[in-house]
Every structure is written in C-alpha cells, then in structure tokens.
Amino acid sequence: MTDVLAVTDHRRGELRDVSYEIITAGRELADETGGDLHLAVISGTVDEFAEKLDREGVDAIHTVDYGEEFNHDVYTQTITQLYDELAPQYVLAPNSVNGLDYAPAVANELDLPIVTDTIGLETDGETLIATREMYGGKVETTNELEGEAVVTIRSAEWPQAEGTGDAAIEAFDAEIDEDAIGSTVTGFEEVGGGDVDISEADVLVSVGRGIEEEDNIPIIEELAEALDATVSSSRPIVDNGWLPKNRQVGQSGKVVTPDVYIAIGISGAVQHVAGMKGSDTIVAINTDPNAPIMDIADYAIHDDLFDVVPALTEEFQ
Amino acid sequence: MKILVTVKEVATVEDEFEIEGTEIASQYLGADLNEWDDYAVEEAVQLQEAGLADEVVTVTIGPEECEQTIRQALAKGADRAVRVWDDALEGVDLLDVNAKTEILSAVVEAEDPDLVLTGVQAGDDSFGATGVSLAEEIGAQWGAVVNSLEHDLEDGVASVRRELEGGVEELTEIDLPAVLTIQTGINEPRYASLRGIRQAQRKELDVQALADIGIDESAIEAQLELTEMYEPESESDATIWEGSADETASELGDLLREKGVTQ
Ligand SMILES: Cc1cc2nc3c(=O)[nH]c(=O)nc-3n(C[C@H](O)[C@H](O)[C@H](O)COP(=O)(O)OP(=O)(O)OC[C@H]3O[C@@H](n4cnc5c(N)ncnc54)[C@H](O)[C@@H]3O)c2cc1C
C-alpha cells in the first residue's frame, strides 16, 4: 500500500493554495494502490489550519504546534520523525521557496531519492513515474524511481481539493532539538512598492530578455506611451537593473490580470507565467515559435520584436 | 575565511531542436556558465574584495570540455578551481541530487570552507535541491533562495534575505558554516576583464577522480532514471498572425482597438 505524507504550506497566518493542491496530488497517488493520505501541518495556528485542510480524501492530519512561522530545521526534524512513525511510501512537499528549503534536507537525512518540481505523478506502489520539465519548459521528461522517495510538486498543476473530509486530526508530539536550530527568522518585508502598481493596469506592455540591452528599453516605453499602457517586465530585466522591482511580473514579483498583456521577448518560464496567466487576453511577440509562452497566448507573432514593436508604435502615433 | 562556490556548465538549447532518445541532439546544444552560479561567484568575489574572504575556490562536476566555461569564474576573480570527473560518470544520463551531494560533500570535506555558495538551481535540469541537500550532508546550516547577504558576517552569523513568493522577503540570521543558494539579482555579475581572462589561464584547476576524493563508484549510481524526453504537446490555441512586421503590427493594432485600448 502506498501511504503518502503531504506537507502543507502557510505564511503569515494564511494557508497557501498549494496546500489544497497537494491534497489532490497526494490522494491520487494514494488511490492508485489504496493507501492513506496523511497531512502534516507544522507551526502557526495549526488547529485552525487543520480544520480548513480537512477536505475530501484526507485520512489523517498531524499537527505540530511549534513556533509561528516556517523554520526549516523545525520542518526537517518534524517530517523525519513523522516519516519514522508513519512509514509512508512518498513524502510530498510543495515546490515553493520554503519547500525547497527543507525537502532536500529531509531526503538526504532519510537517505531517500528526491525528485523536484514535478507536474505529473503515477505509481504502481513500487515504481514512481514523475513528469517534469527541463530547459525552461522546452521539453518534458519522465523519470522513474523505485521505492520510497521525497517529491515536490509544482504549484497550480493539480486542482485544489474540495468538500469536507472526516480526517482524524491529531497533535503529533515532535521532539524538537533546539540546539540543532541554526537559523532565526527576524522579520518579513514587502518589496516592489513605489509609484506604480502594475497589478492595477488595464494594459501591460511587458518586456523580457529578448530586448538584449538596456539601451533598447525605450522602444518598449514608446509603445506603452502610444498605447496609453503600463510597462512591466520579466525578472532578468529587473535583475539587470534596467527597470525597478515594482515592474516585475511573476512568482517573486506581482500577479497581474490586465485586459491585455503583451509579452515581448519573454519565453514564458513557469515563474513568469504564475504572475500573468490570469490576464484576459495574452499576446506574445517572440522569434521562437516553440517558446512556452505560446501555450498560454491567445494571439502570437513569431517575429523579431525590433521589427514589430516600432511598427506597432507607429500605428498608434 | 574560505568560500567554496559550486559552479556548473549548463546546456542551452536552440529554438529549433530534435530529441534523440532521452537527450537533445548535440548539434542543437550550446554551453554556458549557469546563470545562478554567475551570481554566486560574484557574491564570493565581492566578499573577498571586502576583505572578508581569503580564498574563493570553485568546484564543478564535469568533463574536460567544460573547463573553458569554468575558467570564466576564475577570470572573474575566483582563486582556483576543482573539477571532479571520472570515467564512471561518463555514461550517466542524469546525475541526480543524491549523487551530486555525495561528490560535492567529499570536496567540501577536503577544502573545509566556512561558507559554500551555490546557485538556486541549474538552468537546464532545474532541480533546485543540491545546495540544501549538501548542507544537510555536511552538517552545515543553510538558506535557500538568498537574494541579499550582509557583507559583515559578524560573529559567525550571516544575515540574509530569502526571496519568498509574491514580493515578500524573509529576513533570516544563519549560523556559519553554511550553504546559501544564491538567487539572480543579488548583485551585478561583472564581465571578466582581458587581464582576468589571461590570468585565469594560469590559475590552478585541479582535476580529481572519484577515487581521489574517496568516493566509491556505487555511491553515484543514480536512483532517479530519466526514461523519456519529448516536446510537450502544445496546448496553444493561439491565433498566429503572419506576414511582414507592418502586417502583423496592423493585425495586433486592430485587436487592440477592438479591445478598447487607446480611444
Ligand atoms: C525562485 C525563482 C523565482 C523566479 N521568479 C521570477 C519572476 O517573478 N518573474 C520572472 O519573470 N521570472 C522569474 N524567475 C526566472 C525565470 O525562471 C526565468 O529565468 C525568466 O522568467 C526568464 O525571463 P525571459 O523570458 O525574459 O528570458 P528568456 O527565458 O531568456 O527568454 C527570452 C525570450 O526572448 C525571445 N527573443 C530573443 N530575441 C528576440 C527578438 N529579437 N524578438 C523577439 N523575441 C526574442 C527568445 O526566443 C526567448 O523566448 C524565477 C526563477 C526562480 C528560480
């Protein structure tokens, strides 16, 4: 039987969506061989979280009331102890920034193989077949693993679990070795504020690494001006200091849902798409017809931005 | 203080490519220093320039062909390089996290650094797990997705910011020795100067086989097996405009007017 232990994610008092998605992923795996799905809820207001997470398909919820916020040592210690107690076949964790701060340590400590950022999972109880991308989404691969494993799942790939369950909710008595805790969270800060809020814009002209040089940014600004739109960008443009942080769309930037999003020289990496896939109409201008952005585009021009953008600006001047 | 930086040559893929078996056919592949590692190297070199680090050593797992890429880090200021390679690694399709951890931890043991910097992930296989796994293996502290590191490292503590989702940063104090996985944007990686490039040719690049670092071949046997590679089925139902730039721009212009943009 394939029992699954899935670890949930929360921050600053809120459960993150992936916590409900991981229930679906875990249930699917457990169902393939009739196993149980256990959830781990670690730190924060665990009883309140457990109640919310008691959705259809969850067999047991183990709460560990220790500390307010995420600490990777507390997570690592707790999960390895739960693993020893429950002996699950798979430990599932979100492929979030925090998930990647403990899942590899859990795998190494338990001497288990790890496969990260999965977008599809299947098992016959012995062999796990994990689907994941490589080369920034240009290809997909299947990967096989025998026996127990630690697996992280990409967010928004599985639907959120619904309904109400009747899971057994139990406090798990984890023994936390405080001497082994080597990091302390001292605070949080919101970044990317300032004069412009791109999430308020109706039309975004968004620029990516295809622009090549800082000196070329003005052609994007001229287009935005002609369209009375707002300029946003992918991460490398902000990393390079060509535009301020408050213009960044994506996982670590802003989530935007404009009426029209024009992606110019942006490949459509998963962390970018996470921030703009809810846009009403998506237009992609990209020389690469196979760029992942094409999968979510409504309209596309497979051409050089240095030809198309000035022509479009002219249309509106 | 000594800093070890893990670096990797990553494969880059052309727009049009073909898959042969479980690999992209080699004529469509290029090579580059992993984007995230470039930032890790820069961070280490800046710590050295600030007088905090005495030595910056890079370590890579890779065949002789990657030496040119690895020398880029030397040209940017790293002092010397270690390259681990072995015939036993030749046929391995995919070096999984566990195997990389095994090899890198042996090098860490020999070098005994105070701080290890890795990239958040490699741009090609994107596991994003090696740094944290390595930390656990060597009994060091760690922090994943670090986009700011205070350069005083007072009292054996690193003050970092971890970049969480949604424009939130976590401020964290991490005891040294530690492994930090470095996020892009933490600094502005320099271009190597001509002088740096010349000097890099003379810097020490030490090649080690598995046996040299005390690793048994069986330890690197991948538990994760890559069984298939394919181009994802396109879910695209996009309307594609074709023609000259003027023609496509005019189609897009019509759409925008229809959507009520700029009236
Ligand atoms: C933890 C983490 C968080 C991240 N957070 C974010 C985030 O919030 N936002 C984000 O955007 N990224 C984020 N990333 C980075 C992400 O993985 C990608 O590296 C990034 O989105 C790539 O940006 P890009 O599409 O502009 O560049 P590339 O991927 O380099 O794409 C450039 C595109 O331009 C096209 N192009 C080139 N020349 C031309 C031309 N002349 N005309 C037309 N098209 C051209 C190319 O075909 C290519 O598709 C994050 C990564 C990690 C690991």
pLDDT digits (tens, 9 = 90+) for A138-171: 999 999 999 999 999 999 999 999 999 999 999 9
The answer for A250, left when phi > 0, alpha when psi is -120 to 50, beta otherwise, is left
Q: Which uninterrupted H or E stretch holds A180?
A: none
pLDDT tens sequence across B121-173: 999 999 999 999 999 999 999 999 999 999 887 789 999 999 999 999 999 99
Could you tell me the two tokens for A47? Answer: 């009883």
- pLDDT confidence of residue A107: 98
Query: Would the pTM count as exceeding 0.90?
Result: yes
CATH architecture of B2-220: 3-Layer(aba) Sandwich (3.40)
Packing angle between helix B130-138 and helix A99-110, nearest 10 degrees?
Answer: 50
Query: Domains in chain A, please, with CATH?
Result: 4-180 (3.40.50.620), 198-315 (3.40.50.1220)
Q: pLDDT tens, B82-122?
A: 999 999 998 777 789 999 999 999 999 999 999 999 999 99
Residue A69 has pLDDT above 80, yes or no: yes
Q: B55: Cβ–Cβ under 8 A, 6 or more apart, which residues?
A: B2, B3, B48, B79, B80
Q: Residue with the nearest Cα to atom 11 of ligand 1?
A: A234
Determine, for residues B227 and A142 on separate chains, whether the beta-carbon distance falls below 8 Å: yes
Within 8 A of A249 by CB-CB distance, chain B residues are none
Percent of chain A at pLDDT above 70?
100
- With contact defined as beta carbons under 8 Å apart, do A232 and A247 qualify? yes
Task: Say which residue the tokens 């990317």 belong to.
Answer: A192
pLDDT, tens digit, 9 for 90 and up, residues B45-87: 999 999 999 999 999 999 999 999 999 999 999 999 999 999 9
The values of phi and psi at residue A236, to 5°, are: -55, -30
Cα(A272) to ligand 1 centroid in Å equals: 7
Contact of A255 with A246, CB cutoff 8 Å: no
For residue B158, how far is its CA from the centre of ligand 1 (angstroms)?
30
B162 lies within 8 A of chain A by CB: yes
- DSSP secondary structure of A94-118: E-STTHHHHHHHHHHHHT--EEEEE
Lowest mean pLDDT of A41-50, A91-100, B134-143, B220-229, name the range: B220-229
- Summary mean pLDDT of chain B: 95
Residue of A135, A266, A296, A309 with the most ligand 1 atoms within 8 Å of its CB, for mutation: A266
Q: Binning pLDDT at 50, 70 and 90, where does residue B235 land?
A: confident
Is 90 exceeded by the pLDDT of residue A114? Answer: yes
What confidence score (pLDDT) does residue B95 get?
81
Predicted confidence at residue A317, as pLDDT, reads 87
Alpha helices in A160-234 (DSSP H): 217-227
Q: Is A317 helix (H, G, I), strand (E, B) or coil?
A: coil
B25 touching A (Cβ < 8 Å): no
CA–CA distance, B128 with B126 (Å, rounded to integer): 5
Cβ distance of A183 and B226 shorter than 8 Å:
no
CA distance A211 to A242: 11
Percent of chain B with pLDDT over 90: 89
Mean model confidence pLDDT for chain A: 96
CB spacing of A299 vs B234 below 8 angstroms:
no
ipTM for the predicted complex: 0.96
Q: Which residue of A has its CA nearest to B98?
A: A113
CB contact under 8 A, B224 and A145: yes
Task: Find the mean pLDDT for residues B164-185.
Answer: 96
Q: Per-residue pLDDT for B233 more than 90?
A: no
Nearest CB to B167 within list A108, A254, A300: A254
Q: State the number of CA atoms in the 13 A half-sphere of B99 facing the CB.
A: 24
* Contact pairs from chain A to chain B, CB under 8 Å: 260
Q: Please give the pLDDT value at position A273.
A: 97
Find, among B141, B186, B144, the residue nearest to B165 by Cα: B144
Q: Which pLDDT belongs to residue B263?
A: 55
CA distance A12 to A110: 29
Residue in chain B lying closest to A187 (CA): B171
Please compute the mean of the pLDDT values over residues A289-313 and round it to a whole number: 96
- A232-276 per-position pLDDT tens digit: 999 999 999 999 999 999 999 999 999 999 999 999 999 999 999
Domain ranges of chain B: 2-220
Mutation for A interface: B132, B255, B259, most A CBs within 10 A: B132
Q: Which residues contact B113 (CB under 8 A, 6 or more apart)?
A: B2, B3, B4, B57, B177
Which tens digits make up the pLDDT trace of A55-68? 999 999 999 999 99
CB proximity list for B198: less than 8 A, separation 6 or greater: none
Contact between B84 and B107 under an 8 Å Cβ cutoff? The reply is yes
Residue closest to A35 by CA, chosen among A85, A114, A92, A88: A88
- Residue B185 is given by DSSP the state T
